[in-house]
Amino acid sequence: MKLIDLHVHSNISDGTLSPTDLAIYAKAKGLSAIALTDHDTISGIEACALKGLEIDLTVVPGIEFSAEYKSGEIHILGYYIDHHSDILEEKLKSIIQNRVQRNAKMVEKLNTLGLIITEADLLGDNPPETILTRAHVATALYKKGYVKTRSEAFDKYIGHDKPAYIPRVRVTPEECIKTIHLAGGLAVLAHPNLYGLTSFDKELLLKELITLGLDGVETHYSTHTKEDVQELSALCLKYKLLPTGGSDFHGENKPGLDIGIGYGDLKIPYDILDAMHNRLGSAHK
Ligand code: AMP
Ligand code: ZN
Ligand code: FE
Ligand code: FE
């Protein structure tokens, strides 16, 4: 059976492999297709896709947006986006600008707390175009010896409501879905079981997102049980949504989680891509 992984991060966001090495790694692991879904950036797509062509690996251009939902955050994946789209570029520019300002504020807060790091420390050895997230802040604190683990950094300093936490400027689910559609892509709710919602509230969220044009749901995911997959697949059937799947591979930043197989049991069939093509060929565009 041909297998795929539609949720993969490179070192252009908070993964550790370069976009090129990701393609090589996915191929070596026997996958037929991957989607590169870096946080708030598309700058790794070109290199990943080129390598994919060379080694006969399908590379789906993707992205992962974070959107505000109630008091928390949801993630929305975009697939088959035109990474040359001006509208997408504009949106990303403003999101990235906000992140840069926010990172400066977080560094400042950490410094006043006696944790001396600089913005350059956040980049570390990553490529200059890397989108720097709190994951990079955690790594910098870890490397400087201020925390013993990255999660300690979140628990003590940069987690939600902790002393050095600065919120990002609000991006709504509507904006994310609209941007993805205007860039010609499909919008998919990422890891629906990571938001701490009851089944009732999860369905409510889906219904809200469907009114905004949601195309699919990430039914197959590293931490999903068989029952989770069944529940989410049933919701997809009920609401005519595409089931999709990905591991959320981050290289060494998520130890024990491998591309394609997640924590060992993940299997994402290639058919999913065919269904996505069909939907792109019809519907909303
Ligand atoms: P940001 O988008 O800058 O708010 O950062 C979000 C990133 O931080 C996510 O992609 C996660 O990789 C990471 N993250 C968030 N919360 C935690 C946590 N409690 N422990 C470890 N990593 C986290
Ligand atoms: Zn991530
Ligand atoms: Fe996510
Ligand atoms: Fe992700």
Q: Is the pLDDT of residue 281 over 90?
A: no
**C-alpha atoms less than 13 angstroms from C-alpha of 129 in its C-beta half-sphere:** 14
Specify the DSSP class assigned to residue 195: S
3-class SS at 118? coil
- Closest ligand to Cα 190: 3
| Token output for 97 | 């600008």
Q: Is the pLDDT of residue 284 over 90?
A: no
State CA 117 to chain mean position distance. 26
Task: Let me know: does 219 contact 236? Beta carbons within 8 Å.
Answer: yes
The rounded Å distance from CA 131 to ligand 2 centre is: 10
In the predicted model, what is the mean pLDDT of the chain? Answer: 96
- Closest ligand to Cα 37: 4
Specify the DSSP class assigned to residue 194: G
In this prediction, residue 285 has a pLDDT band, given cuts at 50, 70 and 90, of very low
Mutate to test the pocket of ligand 1, among 134, 249, 253, 257 (most ligand atoms within 8 A of CB): 134
The rounded Å distance from CA 230 to ligand 3 centre is: 21
Q: Is the pLDDT of residue 30 over 80?
A: yes
pTM: 0.94
Q: What is the pLDDT of residues 77-102, one digit of tens each?
A: 999 999 999 999 999 999 999 999 99
The rounded Å distance from CA 86 to ligand 3 centre is: 24
Question: How far is it, in rounded angstroms, from Cα 179 to Cα 97?
Answer: 17
In this prediction, residue 178 has a pLDDT band, given cuts at 50, 70 and 90, of very high
Closest Cα to atom 2, ligand 1: which residue? 133
Closest Cα to atom 10, ligand 1: which residue? 135
In this prediction, residue 283 has a pLDDT band, given cuts at 50, 70 and 90, of low
Mutate to test the pocket of ligand 1, among 133, 137, 223 (most ligand atoms within 8 A of CB): 133
CA nearest to 176, candidates 246, 250, 81, 97: 81
Q: What is the pLDDT of residues 114-130, one digit of tens each?
A: 999 999 999 998 999 99
In this prediction, residue 170 has a pLDDT band, given cuts at 50, 70 and 90, of confident
What are the pocket residues of ligand 1 if the criterion is a CB atom closer than 6 Å to any ligand atom?
14, 66, 133-135, 150-151, 154, 159
For the chain, helix (H) and strand (E) counts, in that order, are 10, 7
The rounded Å distance from CA 112 to ligand 4 centre is: 31
In the structure, ligand 2 is a single-atom ion and the residues with CB under 5 Å from it are: 9, 14
Cα dihedral 90, 95, 101, 106 in deg (nearest 10): -170
In this prediction, residue 268 has a pLDDT band, given cuts at 50, 70 and 90, of very high
Q: What is the pLDDT of residues 50-70, one digit of tens each?
A: 999 999 999 999 999 999 999
Task: Let me know: does 155 contact 161? Beta carbons within 8 Å.
Answer: no
Q: Which amino acid is at 122?
A: L
CA distance readout (Å), 168 to 141, 172, 213: 20, 12, 24
Q: What is the pLDDT of residues 215-246, one digit of tens each?
A: 999 999 999 999 999 999 999 999 999 999 99
What is the mean predicted confidence (pLDDT) over 185-200? Answer: 97
Q: Tokens 């924590």 — which residue?
A: 263
Question: How far is it, in rounded angstroms, from Cα 274 to Cα 285?
Answer: 17
Max CA-CA distance within the chain?
56
